[in-house]
């Protein structure tokens, strides 16, 4: 690959936007596209050039990276109308860094080869912290000669880049990773709850065991957050449940039983059915309503709404603006509000001194049985979830 040539990037979610920033820091010129316009505006402020479609990204950049939620999204972004392949030229490359089913990666690779376009599947592990730090573990599937040409590009986003085999091998490796991470988080959560219920200080238990055989990167990263009630997300339940679903499908195809994976996948499915698909996976056992929750910008909220409700960028932005306007008015007037798809909320003042100032007053919104803290204005504080009647 020519040194520091223009790179295209499709998908600017929690992970993608930070990966774009690291590529810019490494000296690459970026052309980007996302279904949510506000997501493009965020990285445009860092120097990226927005495009109107995935096709336009490929027309302007010989190297295109895709980072989208699931198999269907990868197929749409790469193979669909106005997709990457419609704009790609012979000799260009598509690097799909999405975590998807290995069979889908192989399907996309075949379509790329038919057009003379190189392909790598290169899913990542490390969550948002790894994306920010440029320390992701990148698992790659594809031809070695293509991998060798683009490993330098991948180094701008990751600390560990390994060629795992042919097409689909990167995503098979990622599924193995997700099985281990999910089982580890579940085990850590169970162990800390057991310790706390037995009257022990969970932090003391963590310090005692982290240097032994039970110690792991997952424990070191997640145990302190669980203990502190810090529910800042690096990965949504919905996406991990999707990964375990893909693992089970792959296991079925290969005749491999995955009993622990099946159990945890059912737990995550139950959480999603209870309306908690947007909160961090580790809050299942230690969730404290109104506790130390995440801070999310309007643009992030718009992206989530677009993904969950099949909205375009303008529709999602309008919905967010309408929600904040309704929320501000409800705090001043003390009325019930129905915010265009969020459901009916009961508003209670929690800061009476500032109750007539919607920019500083906080409100507790109670959708159905769930309590979430929101702060009106540009920043939304709380675990985002789609409220149900």
Q: Which residues are catalytic?
A: 174
Q: Which residue from 125, 234, 233, 225 is spatially nearest to 181, judged by alpha carbons?
A: 125
Q: Which residue from 244, 222, 254, 241 is spatially nearest to 176, judged by alpha carbons?
A: 244
> How far, in Å, CA of 30 to CA of 21, rounded?
9
> How far, in Å, CA of 366 to CA of 97, rounded?
37
> How far, in Å, CA of 231 to CA of 287, rounded?
8
Q: Which residue from 34, 126, 141, 134 is spatially nearest to 96, judged by alpha carbons?
A: 141
Strand pairing of 7-10 and 63-66? parallel
Beta bridge partners of residue 58, listed in sequence order? none
Q: Contact, 119 vs 143, CB < 8 A?
A: no
> How far, in Å, CA of 48 to CA of 26, rounded?
13
Measured at the CA of 146, the angle between CA 34 and CA 130, to 5 degrees, comes to: 50
Integer distance in angstroms from the first to the last C-alpha of the chain? 53
Beta bridge partners of residue 363, listed in sequence order? 349, 374
């Amino acid at each position: 690959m020519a040194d520091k040539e223009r790179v295209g990037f499709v998908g600017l979610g929690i992970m993608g936007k930070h990966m774009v920033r690291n590529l810019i820091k490494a000296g690459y010129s970026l052309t980007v596209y996302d279904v949510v316009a506000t997501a493009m505006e965020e990285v445009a402020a860092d120097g990226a050039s927005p495009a109107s479609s995935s096709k336009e990204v490929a027309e302007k950049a010989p190297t295109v990276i895709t980072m989208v939620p699931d198999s269907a999204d990868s197929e749409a972004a790469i193979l669909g109308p106005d997709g990457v392949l419609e704009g790609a030229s012979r000799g260009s490359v598509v690097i799909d860094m999405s975590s998807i089913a290995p069979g889908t990666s192989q399907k996309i690779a075949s379509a790329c080869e038919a057009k003379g376009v190189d392909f790598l599947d290169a899913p990542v592990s490390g969550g948002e912290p790894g994306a920010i730090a440029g320390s992701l573990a990148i698992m790659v599937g594809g031809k070695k000669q293509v991998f060798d040409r683009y490993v330098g590009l991948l180094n701008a986003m990751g600390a560990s880049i390994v060629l795992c085999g042919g097409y689909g091998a990167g995503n098979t490796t990622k599924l193995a990773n997700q099985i281990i991470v999910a089982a580890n988080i579940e085990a850590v959560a169970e162990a800390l709850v057991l310790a706390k219920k037995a009257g022990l200080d969970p932090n003391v238990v963590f310090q005692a065991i982290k240097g032994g055989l039970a110690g792991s990167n997952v424990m070191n990263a997640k145990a302190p957050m669980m203990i502190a009630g810090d529910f800042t997300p690096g990965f949504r339940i919905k996406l991990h449940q999707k990964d375990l679903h893909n693992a089970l499908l792959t296991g079925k195809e290969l005749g491999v039983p995955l009993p622990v994976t099946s159990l945890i996948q059912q737990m995550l499915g139950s959480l999603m059915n209870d309306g908690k698909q947007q909160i961090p996976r580790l809050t299942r056992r230690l969730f404290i309503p109104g506790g130390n929750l995440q801070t999310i910008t309007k643009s992030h909220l718009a992206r989530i709404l677009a993904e969950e409700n099949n909205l375009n960028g303008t529709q999602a932005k309008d919905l967010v603006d309408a929600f904040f306007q309704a929320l501000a008015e409800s705090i001043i007037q003390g009325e019930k509000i129905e915010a265009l798809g969020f459901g009916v909320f009961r508003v209670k003042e929690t800061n009476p001194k500032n109750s007539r100032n919607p920019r500083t007053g906080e409100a507790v919104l109670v959708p159905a049985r769930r309590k979430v803290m929101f702060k009106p204005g540009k920043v939304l504080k709380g675990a985002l979830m789609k409220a149900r009647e």
